[in-house]
Structure 1
Amino acid sequence: MTTLTDRPETALLVIDVQEGVVAGAHQRDEVVANVQSLIDRARSENVPVVWVQHHDGGLQQGSPEWQLAHELSRDDSEPLVEKTYGDSFEGTDLEQVLAHAGVGHLVVAGAQTDMCVRSTIHGAFARGYDVTLVSDAHTTEDLSAYGAPTPDLVIAHTNLYWGEQRAPGKSAATVTTANVSLESPAQGGE
């Protein structure tokens, strides 16, 4: 259903599951385990896994905090997109990586829900991608001291509204790790 022509493939997009990003995240261990489960499934089904890794003034490249979460293992053949903005498409080669692989459907997991995950799913949808957010494979830290809702409410709200997104020719969905399909919606997946 994607509006991107000749791009029937699906990719798993793993956003910023880095030591410093998920260190204090809500249900960190469960979410990281779900992300690893998705990675294992994608690999076994020959679905591309695309990694996104953030760096900025507070998260220095090469630092221990910048490294991917130690439970996760990236295969050297899997694309790694480095970014400095919330939306994983901005200022990166993510679009080229996905176009080269014929990807028009993204299954998204990662951190942080209310920042980079949210920016990226909206950015992908606006660019014509079908986007499935894995409801129990994204997380965020507690920013309630700054006036934000607690992490469980941020995650629940994001899952709720993403499942209701609509636009001509493309689809959005929210689904659990156990129920996610790695097929393209056009192939009968979602």
Structure 2
Amino acid sequence: MRRALIVIDVQNEYFNGNMKIAYPPLDVSLPNITRAMDAARAADIPVVVVQHDAPEQSPIFAKGSPAWRLHDEIAGRPSNHHINKTYASVFTGTDLGQWIADNRIDTLTIVGYMTHNCDAATIYEASHKGLAVEFLSDASGSPSYENAAGKASAEEIHRVFSTVFHSGFAAVGSTDQWITAMRAGTALERDNVYLSVQRAKRN
């Protein structure tokens, strides 16, 4: 197993901008993100820091604005690679795929924001590319949504996407579980769509 920790869009926009993360609370997710980064660094696991770019006139992630900047806790930590992206998936329009190949990475550990958007897009694409994927559910998060299709709380969005990820796209676990597995050189336990459905039918 050759892991890389992918730290997605931990930018000020999600802390004091127009897209504040609501669940899990930021005082839970941010410390877990930094713990994962520090543990990865200590174990010589490469860390990729990702930053989302939007046009300067955009109401969110406007390039060069304070909200666009990485959170100080992330900016102040070393990383092995930095990626700027303009799409949800970290793979699209970036060199992530080539970097993974060059570094012989076979497992991506995903942390950062948002669970259902950039994390999800990256998880699905990585899975489709044949990579093993891990998602740390307490080192990520969502805001609430409301639009013409309906309304969903941040907790609902995060929980549902985490459940779907664990049905086969990614092994979902806590930061503590991941650090323990990483230090032991083992993978987080995976599940599958068949068993996920069968358990729900029994209940």
* Structure 1 residues not aligned, in runs of 5+: 1-7, 167-171
Identity %: 30
Cα deviations by residue, 1:48-93 (Å, 9 ceiling, x for unpaired)? 0011110113222222111111222231x52001100001100101
Equivalent-residue separation in structure 2 for 1:175 and 1:109 (angstroms): 11
1:178 counterpart letter in structure 2 = D
Residue 145 of structure 1: how far off its partner (Å): 5.9
CA-based RMSD: 1.8
* Structure 2 residues not aligned, in runs of 5+: 189-203
Answer yes or no: is the 8 Å Cα contact 2:43–2:183 preserved in 1.
no
Q: Which residue of 2 aligns with 1:158?
A: 161
Answer yes or no: is the 8 Å Cα contact 1:19–1:69 preserved in 2.
yes
Is 1:135 equivalent to 2:131 in the alignment?
no
Higher relative contact order (CA 8 A, sep 6+): 1
In the comparison of the two structures, how many residue pairs are matched? 175
Q: Which residue of 1 aligns with 2:54?
A: 56
Equivalent-residue separation in structure 1 for 2:104 and 2:151 (angstroms): 38
Equivalent-residue separation in structure 2 for 1:20 and 1:134 (angstroms): 21
Equivalent-residue separation in structure 2 for 1:22 and 1:131 (angstroms): 26
Is 1:114 equivalent to 2:112 in the alignment?
no
- The DSSP-based 3-state class of the residue aligned with 2:134 is strand
- The DSSP-based 3-state class of the residue aligned with 1:81 is strand
Answer yes or no: is the 8 Å Cα contact 2:144–2:157 preserved in 1.
no
Is 1:25 equivalent to 2:18 in the alignment?
no
Answer yes or no: is the 8 Å Cα contact 2:41–2:47 preserved in 1.
yes
Q: Which residue of 1 aligns with 2:127?
A: 125
Residue 159 of structure 1: how far off its partner (Å): 1.3
Cα deviations by residue, 1:93-127 (Å, 9 ceiling, x for unpaired)? 11111212111100100101121111110011111
Answer yes or no: is the 8 Å Cα contact 1:11–1:103 preserved in 2.
yes
Equivalent-residue separation in structure 2 for 1:158 and 1:90 (angstroms): 21
TM-score, structure 2 length as denominator? 0.80
Change (3 A) 1:182 1:61: farther
Answer yes or no: is the 8 Å Cα contact 2:8–2:110 preserved in 1.
yes
1:17 counterpart letter in structure 2 = V
Equivalent-residue separation in structure 2 for 1:67 and 1:29 (angstroms): 19
